[in-house]
Amino acid sequence: MGKGRSPVATRFKAGRSGNPKGRPKGSKNAQSLAKAELSRKVVVTVNGRKKSMTVAEIASRRLGDKAMTGDAKAFSFLIAVAGVGSGPDESLADRITTPEQDRAILAEYFKRKGFTE
């Protein structure tokens, strides 16, 4: 802290960690733990038959079931995850409009509604 450099004698030595009791090597982070949990196999009963499925497959199936019951939030999330409506060549950059395009769209809308500029 402060303005200058700390004294050479109190600086961390080269090759030494400033936190020697920190995270041990090989310990997993949250992302790798979540991936492992989603790929874990579980035995479930589907249509009266036992079947081995991953947690991700079960979650997707339950989401689909909720969407079929009329849950709009589940349906829109399922559509977004599946990427329905966006072709393989269409990227996010292709879907973003510029301010000029926005003005042209609004001008066309007002013209059709009978408002003139």
Give the domain ranges of the chain: 29-112
Q: Give the residue-averaged pLDDT of 48-69.
A: 94
Q: What is the C-alpha separation between 109 and 92, in angstroms, rounded?
A: 24
Report pLDDT digits (tens) over 61-100.
999 999 999 988 998 888 888 877 666 555 656 667 788 8
Work out the number of other CB atoms within 10 angstroms of the CB of residue 95.
8
77: left (phi over 0), alpha (psi -120 to 50) or beta: alpha
Residue 96, classified by CB atoms within 10 Å of its CB into exposed (0-12), middle (13-18) or buried (19+), is: exposed
Question: Quick one: what percent of the chain has pLDDT higher than 70?
Answer: 87
The pLDDT of residue 93 is 62
